[in-house]
Amino acid sequence: MTEIAEWNDAITYEKFIESARENVELMKARLTDFPMNDIDEGALRNIQNTINILVIGTDRCNDTAGNLPVLVKMASYSANVEVRILDSDKHARFHQQFRVNGKRKTPVVLFLSSELNELCRWIERPNAVYQFVIEKSLSMNDKKGTLRKLYSDPEILRQSLGELMPLLIRSDLLLGRK
135-147, pLDDT tens digit by residue?
Answer: 777 666 777 788 8
Q: What is the mean pLDDT of residues 12-35?
A: 94
pTM of the model: 0.94
**Contact criterion met (CB below 8 Å) for 107 and 57:** yes
Residue 122 confidence (pLDDT) above 90: yes
Residue 105 confidence (pLDDT) above 60: yes
Q: What is the DSSP string of 123-143?
A: ESS-HHHHHHHHHHT--HHHH
Residue 1 confidence (pLDDT) above 60: no
What percentage of the chain reaches a pLDDT higher than 90? 75
What pLDDT, on the 0 to 100 scale, is given for residue 134?
Answer: 75
**Contact criterion met (CB below 8 Å) for 76 and 28:** no
Domain ranges of the chain: 5-175
How many other β-carbons are positioned within 10 Å of the β-carbon of residue 176? Answer: 8
Q: What is the mean pLDDT of residues 92-119?
A: 93
| Mean pLDDT, all residues of the chain | 92
Q: What is the mean pLDDT of residues 111-130?
A: 94
Residue 108 confidence (pLDDT) above 90: yes
Q: Which residues contact 33 (CB under 8 A, 6 or more apart)?
A: 154
Classify domain 5-175 by CATH architecture.
Answer: 3-Layer(aba) Sandwich (3.40)
Give the chain's length.
178
What percentage of the chain reaches a pLDDT higher than 70? 97
Q: What is the DSSP string of the chain?
A: --B-GGGGG-B-HHHHHHH--SSHHHHHHHHHH----HHHHHHHHT--S-EEEEEEE-TT-HHHHHHHHHHHHHHTT-TTEEEEEEETTTTHHHHGGG-BTTB--S-EEEEE-TT-BEEEEEESS-HHHHHHHHHHT--HHHHHHHHHHHTTSHHHHHHHHHHHHHHHHHHHHHH---
Q: Hey, CA dihedral for 146, 159, 41, 71, is it positive or negative?
A: negative
Q: Among 72-81, 106-115, 152-161, which stretch is predicted with the lowest mean pLDDT?
A: 152-161
By C-alpha distance, which of 113, 167, 169 is closest to 1?
Answer: 113
